[in-house]
Amino acid sequence: MPPRGLAPALAEPPAAAPVTLAEVRAAAERIRGAVLRTPTLFSDAVSRVAGSRVWLKLDNLQPTGAFKERGAANRIALLTPRERAAGVIAMSAGNHAQAVARHASLAGIAATIVMPRFTPATKVVRTEGWGARVVLHGETLAEAAAHAHELALRDGLTFIHPYDDPGVIAGQGTLALEMLEDAPETDTLVIPVGGGGMLAGCAAAVRELRPDVAIFGVEVEGYPAMWQRLHGLPVQVGGPTIAEGIAVRDIGEVPMALIRRLGIEVLVVPERAVEQAIALLAEGAKVVAEGAGAAGLAALLAFPERFAGRAVGTPVCGGNIDARILANVLLRQLLRDGRILRLHLSIPDRPGVLADIAARVAAAGGNVIEVSHQRLFAAPSVQSAELELMIEVRDAAQGAAIIAALEAGDYVVRRG
């Protein structure tokens, strides 16, 4: 696992950039009206926790719930008449699929989307809902991509890559233009990195427009592919992550060249910081973010000393998170913050004990939300029982007071 927050890798010698500020500005005009200009809002609650002044670019409010609309809209607008007549094809198991499907539909262009067989049914249905033909093929994204290229060659379709395409990259860069226009005091941008298209597009525009602005990319620990390549290391990624939208092994070559040339630093954040960021956005900013969409804020939480006192802009670049996963993240964060206590007690098996415990918890201001009482098999003696309590509390101090009240009744308490 790479160390987190190392200095940036050395940039390559200057070369002609495949994407420039002029192209990003042209993309902004091209997609005007087709893509929502999302708000950039200052969040006091997030700023107080992060220790910096934080502006959130809410691209989770796009119709398909993610920034991918920008690149897809620009690339489709660049199609030739012959390409428009033949149709487009893309490979994706998530946000890119819906973005291409939507903007092809708006332009009256036939779209085929190849998705791996494991793709959740809801994503398939949403993509089809935009009028695309969905082809399920392969067990992995790589197999789906190979099949998409085969179909493109066979049927004369234009393949729209999710990030390794200058037109897509320029479209993604429009996010940074809007952010700096709406929050000109910003002196730092923190951008999540999957395949690198959004970071490359934003960096290409900002380096010309505002060279004084510091730019950071962010990857999650299990998938630090760009960090590894920037430092000349073999790419080794894998494992479960809540930030599946940036869980990428193969970084785009066009974004890679741009990011090397511009000397952009990439930070690697732990999984826990991403969960913390999702919870902070939901509770503090009242914003729903998927894991990838919260990765920028995760960097502020993981490296507060790097951003202390700075004016930071970061995109909430996606909000497509499963409701069950969001609920689990919020509960896990409540446990970590000490606002939910999980207690195990060994208690004597006699009348009135449960009532006494409940009374002690209530007197200390706690709210019991779940009880598990085991007599037969979990207890070490037939004269005792095992009790597990989930208790809602205001903060860690109130939790400590509840434990003290239970121990004052001679109960042995273990935190779960």
pLDDT tens, position by position, 291-347: 999 999 999 999 999 999 999 999 999 999 999 999 999 999 999 998 999 999 988
Q: What is the mean pLDDT of residues 184-210?
A: 97
pLDDT reported for residue 141: 79
Distance CA 72, CA 64 (A): 12
Reply yes or no on domain 21-67+165-332 having CATH 3.40.50.1100. yes
164 vs 384, which has greater pLDDT?
A: 164
* Per-residue exposure over 164-177, b if at least 16 CB sit within 10 Å of its own CB, e if not: bbbbbbbbbbbbbb
Q: Which of the four pLDDT bands, split at 50, 70 and 90, describes residue 381?
A: low
Q: What is the mean pLDDT of residues 78-98?
A: 95
* Exposed/middle/buried for residue 412 (C-beta within 10 Å: 0-12, 13-18, 19+): exposed
Residue-averaged pLDDT of the chain = 92
Does residue 12 carry a pLDDT above 60? no
**Ordered strands of the 133-136 beta sheet:** 133-136, 111-115, 88-91, 158-159
Does residue 3 carry a pLDDT above 70? no
pLDDT reported for residue 350: 86
CATH class assigned to 88-156: alpha beta
Does residue 195 carry a pLDDT above 90? yes
Does residue 10 carry a pLDDT above 80? no
CATH architecture of 338-415: 2-Layer Sandwich (3.30)
Kindly give the pairing relationship between strand 311-315 and strand 188-192. Answer: parallel
Does residue 15 carry a pLDDT above 70? no
Kindly give the pairing relationship between strand 340-348 and strand 412-415. Answer: antiparallel
Distance CA 97, CA 129 (A): 11
Q: Which of the four pLDDT bands, split at 50, 70 and 90, describes residue 383?
A: low
- Fill in the DSSP letter of residue 9: P
Q: Which of the four pLDDT bands, split at 50, 70 and 90, describes residue 266?
A: very high
Q: Give ranges for CATH 3.40.50.1100 in the chain.
A: 21-67+165-332, 88-156
Looking only at Cα atoms, what is the longest distance across the chain?
A: 83
Q: Give ranges for CATH 3.30.70.260 in the chain.
A: 338-415
Does residue 287 carry a pLDDT above 90? yes
pTM above 0.85, yes or no: yes
Q: What is the mean pLDDT of residues 203-232?
A: 97
pLDDT reported for residue 378: 53
Using CA atoms, how far residue 247 sits from 65, 169, 226, in Å, is 18, 18, 11
pLDDT tens, position by position, 89-137: 999 888 999 999 999 999 999 999 999 988 888 889 999 999 999 999 9
Q: What is the DSSP string of 247-262?
A: --SS--HHHHHHHHHH
Q: What is the DSSP string of 89-109?
A: EEE-SSHHHHHHHHHHHHTT-
Contact between 88 and 160 under an 8 Å Cβ cutoff? The reply is yes
pLDDT tens, position by position, 218-241: 999 999 999 999 999 999 999 999
pLDDT reported for residue 7: 33
pLDDT reported for residue 188: 98
Q: What is the mean pLDDT of residues 339-363?
A: 92
pLDDT reported for residue 93: 80
pLDDT reported for residue 315: 98
Does residue 8 carry a pLDDT above 50? no
pLDDT reported for residue 14: 38
